[in-house]
Amino acid sequence: MPGLSKNGTLMSCSYALTSSKRDFSVNPARAVRKHTMPQASRTFLAALLCIGCIVLLTTVLVSVPTVEEETSSAQPVLPIVQESAPARQREQPAKKPSKPAPVFDASAVTDELEEIFFEAEAAVTLINVTSDEALLQWNGDIGFHPASTYKLFIADSMIRAVEQGQWAWEDWFLGTSLGECFDAMIIYSDNDCPEAWLDEIPPDALTQRAAEIGATHTQLDWGVFSSTTNDMAVFLAQAYRGELFGSDGRTRLFEDMVSQEFRDGIPAGVPAGTVVADKVGFLEADLHDVGIIELPSGAFALAIYTEGSSWESIAEATSVIVSELK
């Protein structure tokens, strides 16, 4: 039994730490000290905490090589730039095979054209409108007087003037409306309408417009009128695709070309029921026909210029060409 002072204070702490007896009869002040964790216990818990930290750290360090080994054993990741294109291709669904483009034997057609036009000067150009591929360019860069085929460039000028708000189809022009003037020019090949329009625009406007669309061998000034079948086919293909003007103007032009009354050239050389939108030109010995032919195999721009030939020969040449497009 440890000794106590007169005021009842604890004289020996070592006894309290080593005694196996629990004395709960002391006053509350002593209970506070008796329930405080002994130094040895705190030391023991601290040791346990340190051991736990060491075990945890060791576990983390040991696990790192395992992650690296798993990463190194996996397949290498390709750079995105190299992987992206093939990956996208693999994800795309299989496409249905497209309809093969018609095989066109330009050499064989040229031989037949030379026989058909052996007594005349002639040029023929054929363009696949969808692919913009020139399938035939026989004498395509030789200049001819375009005769009334130049009116297609007049039509382009009128349509754009309406689209730009400079004119309206209802506006009064040459004793009638601009729209009626336009229709007469294409359907009946009226001359007064386009000639009056030439007075409304700058002298070099048509030539500049032709150059803009790639018809670089076309000159349509009052002094010089010249064009080629290559240029006319380029114009037709672009107009048909809607690249020269809007849908309203395109519809008006091609509906008039389908309705034009001179049908002995290209329209006479296609199978019955084939849609042909064309514009003829005839001046002295020049007979021309240029237009769009809609076939099951696609739409094609065909331009034929001749000097000293006939409508029958133009129709025959068309038939030879169409037979190669089936």
Q: What pLDDT, on a 0 to 100 scale, did the predictor assign at position 326?
A: 75
The 8-class DSSP code of residue 4 comes to: B
Q: What pLDDT, on a 0 to 100 scale, did the predictor assign at position 223?
A: 81
For residue 11, give every residue at least 6 positions away whose Cβ sits within 8 Å of its Cβ, in sequence order, or none: 2, 3, 4, 5
Residue with tokens 């669904």: 93
* Burial of 206 per CB tally in 10 Å (0-12, 13-18, 19+): buried
Q: Name the band, by pLDDT with cuts 50, 70 and 90, for residue 55.
A: low
**CA of 77: how far to CAs of 70, 74, 81, 84, 308, in Å?**
14, 9, 11, 12, 72
Question: What's the mean pLDDT in 21-50?
Answer: 49
Residue with tokens 């386009």: 194
Asked if residue 113 lies in contact with residue 320, where contact means CB atoms within 8 angstroms, the answer is yes
| One-letter amino acid for residue 74 of the chain | A
Instruction: Dump pLDDT digits (tens) for 193-237.
Output: 999 999 999 999 999 999 999 999 999 987 899 999 999 999 999
Instruction: Dump pLDDT digits (tens) for 105-119.
Output: 999 999 999 999 999
Q: Name the band, by pLDDT with cuts 50, 70 and 90, for residue 50.
A: low
In degrees and rounded to multiples of 5, residue 304 shows phi and psi of: -130, 120
Q: What pLDDT, on a 0 to 100 scale, did the predictor assign at position 222?
A: 78
Strands 298-307 and 121-128: antiparallel
Residue 248, SS3? helix
Helix axes 106-116, 311-323, angle to 10 degrees: 160
Strands 286-295 and 298-307: antiparallel
In this predicted structure, the answer to whether residue 69 has a pLDDT above a threshold of 90 is no
The share of the chain scoring above pLDDT 70, in percent, equals 69
75 versus 233: which is more confidently predicted? 233
Question: What's the mean pLDDT in 313-319?
Answer: 99
Question: What's the mean pLDDT in 9-17?
Answer: 37
Residue with tokens 């020996």: 12
Which among 128, 103, 67 is positioned nearest to 300, based on CA atoms?
128
Q: What pLDDT, on a 0 to 100 scale, did the predictor assign at position 103?
A: 79
Give this prediction's pTM.
0.70
Q: Where are the domains of the chain?
A: 106-323
Among 40-49, 184-193, 298-307, the range scoring the smallest mean pLDDT is 40-49
In this predicted structure, the answer to whether residue 127 has a pLDDT above a threshold of 50 is yes
Question: What's the mean pLDDT in 230-253?
Answer: 98
Question: What's the mean pLDDT in 254-266?
Answer: 98
In this predicted structure, the answer to whether residue 76 has a pLDDT above a threshold of 60 is no
Among 90-104, 258-272, 275-289, the range scoring the smallest mean pLDDT is 90-104
Mean pLDDT for the chain overall: 81
Which among 298, 279, 295 is positioned nearest to 287, based on CA atoms?
279
The Cα 151–Cα 253 span in angstroms is: 11
Question: What's the mean pLDDT in 161-185?
Answer: 98
Instruction: Please check whether the domain covering 106-323 is classified as CATH 3.40.710.10.
Output: yes
Q: What pLDDT, on a 0 to 100 scale, did the predictor assign at position 42?
A: 58
Helix axes 178-187, 151-163, angle to 10 degrees: 160
